Amino acid sequence: MATPTNNTDTNPTGGVVAQQAINENADLLRFATAGSVDDGKSTLIGRLLLDSKSIFEDQLESVHSTSQSKGYDYDDLSLLTDGLRSEREQGITIDVAYRYFATPNRKFIIADTPGHVQYTRNMVTGASTSDLGLVLVDARQGLTEQSRRHAVLLSMLRVPHLVLAVNKMDLVDFSEEVYNQIHAEFTSFATKLSIPDLTIIPISALQGDNVVNRSENMAWYEGPSLMHHLEHVHVASDRDLVDVRFPVQYVVRPKSDEFHDYRGYAGQVAGGVMKPGDEVVVLPSGMTTKIKAIDLFDKEIDQAFPPMSVTVRLEDDVDVSRGDMIARIKNAPKPAQDIDAMICWMTNEPLKPRQKLAIKQTTRTGRALVKDIQYRMDVNTLHRDLEAGELGLNEIGRVQLRTTVPLLCDPYSQNRTTGSFILIDEATGVTVGAGMINSGD
């Protein structure tokens, strides 16, 4: 193990430690697909799986036989992702379908999200943890209201990378003019949003043009194929490597002869780079100590960074329990009980002022009172309805909450993990809302 250091006031992104974190953390990409109905999201994912040789022969044979039985002229690759029977019967995506595959360059987790407006909550769920958002548009239709809505939602969720895939280029004779028109229109629209990285790629998911391999039918396009872009987009540095945030999930006390005095605090690193010897503060108690060691499975490691799950041991016997947070002394979040947040409401019963709900933020739980609904946002036009007295299913609005326990949070724009929370119906245990914190006092 490397010699412990005590450089608590230095910026960890400026040294070798953070660069190693970036390199080691870059081999996994989480991305979510979105778009209007019939834009070809599920077919595109099926094509990615097929052309990257990530499906088994029996799966392909099943797709082939099912497609023939339905009278299709081609193998319907969307059958690889539309897992629910109702989805297959309707030919649409309803639930969020997660798929996993890998290439020699990177591992991928795909969230295939629904296109219908009534499934906005599903789309928010799938995109909330994504590194990249993939929005499809039909080259024949151009940008639609749903295309814009999904781009707005991805922007609100602070997904740092966005790819606009102009699909079905084969149905417009691979026209450069059509592509340029959609490119110009979306680029202009994106200037109103917070999209740090935008890439626009013309593809044909059905035929495979520009999906995994470059298309000979679009020699005018000089950019990368979709797979090449997904393999090489830089995402690890999108995570906050400056502000140390370690929500404690579990106190590890084996109480065995081999580990008689062992006491560790398990959790997932939500921000920053942690090293043995660092001075830290435990919140909300405010007790200070140093990191004695960091354990990963059965070995000690020199550093921990997002999104690693580790066990931290401290030098002093301070009181730490689930829901507490370990942070740097001079760079700790301010505990807050008055929360200003954007809420996506996920249930039929509307959200109203004075409503009481359970709240869960990182590993911390409590109760929350809805003090006020400031406005409801139209995600299609970005119009704010200041007269809104409630939020209905799939609606998004800005609310003021008062919590029974102080939340150890950051603005969502700074840290997507510590800046987010869920609201729970205490009677049923059902998650009824997802929130993104603007600020807290």
Q: How wide is the angle at C-alpha 366 spanned by C-alphas 365 and 367, nearest 5°? A: 145
Mean pLDDT of 380-405: 91
The two three-digit tokens of residue 43, written as one number = 């077919």
High-pLDDT (> 70) share of the chain, % = 82
Report the pLDDT value the prediction gives residue 89, as an integer from 0 to 100: 45
Least confident of 131-135, 153-157, 300-304, 311-315: 153-157
pLDDT top residue among 46 and 306: 306
Please give the domain boundaries of the chain with CATH numbers for all domains: 12-23+240-328 (2.40.30.10), 26-238 (3.40.50.300), 335-440 (2.40.30.10)
Q: Does residue 310 contact residue 296 with C-beta atoms inside 8 Å? A: yes
pLDDT higher than 50, residue 22: no
- What is the per-residue pLDDT across 110-144, written as a single tens digit (0 to 9) for each? 887 765 566 677 778 788 889 999 999 999 999 88
| Spatial CA neighbour of 431 closest among 124, 127, 152, 150 | 124
In sequence order, what DSSP letters do the residues of 25-72 get, joined into one string? TTTEEEEEEEESTTS-HHHHHHHHHHHTT-S-HHHHHHHHHHHHHTT-
Q: Is 427 exposed, middle or buried (0-12, 13-18, 19+ CB in 10 A)?
A: exposed
The length of the chain in residues reads 441
pLDDT of 43: 79
Predicted pLDDT at 90: 43
- The residue type found at 272 is G
3-class secondary structure, 8: coil
Check residues 40 and 303 and name the one with the higher pLDDT: 303
Looking at residue 306, its amino acid is P
pLDDT of residue 57: 61
Please determine, for residue 384, whether its predicted confidence score (pLDDT) is greater than 80.
Answer: yes
**Closest CA relative to residue 122, chosen from 349, 435, 359, 434:** 434
pLDDT at 397 over 50: yes
For the cut 70, the answer to whether the pLDDT of residue 8 exceeds it is no
Confidence check: pLDDT of 63 > 90:
no
Report the range of poorest mean pLDDT among 58-62, 296-300, 370-374, 400-404.
58-62
Measure the CA–CA gap between 334 and 340, rounded to whole angstroms. 14
Cis upstream peptide for 307 (omega within 30°): yes
- Give the residue, 367 or 33, on which the prediction is more confident: 367
Across the chain, mean pLDDT equals: 84
User: In this predicted structure, what is the pLDDT of residue 73?
Assistant: 63
* Mean pLDDT of all residues in 382-389: 90
pLDDT at 30 over 50: yes
pLDDT at 36 exceeding the cut of 80: no
Q: How confident is the model at residue 259 (pLDDT cuts 50, 70, 90)?
A: confident
Under 8 Å between Cβ of 357 and 370: yes
Rounded CA-CA distance 152/384 in Å is 14
When pLDDT is averaged across residues 54-63 and rounded to a whole number, the result is 64
Binning pLDDT at 50, 70 and 90, where does residue 78 land? low
Confidence of residue 427 (pLDDT cuts 50, 70, 90): very high
**Burial 319-340, CB ≥16 within 10 A → b, else e:** ebeebbbbbbeebbbebbeebb
Q: Say if residue 94's pLDDT is above 60.
A: no
What one-letter code names the amino acid at 380? N
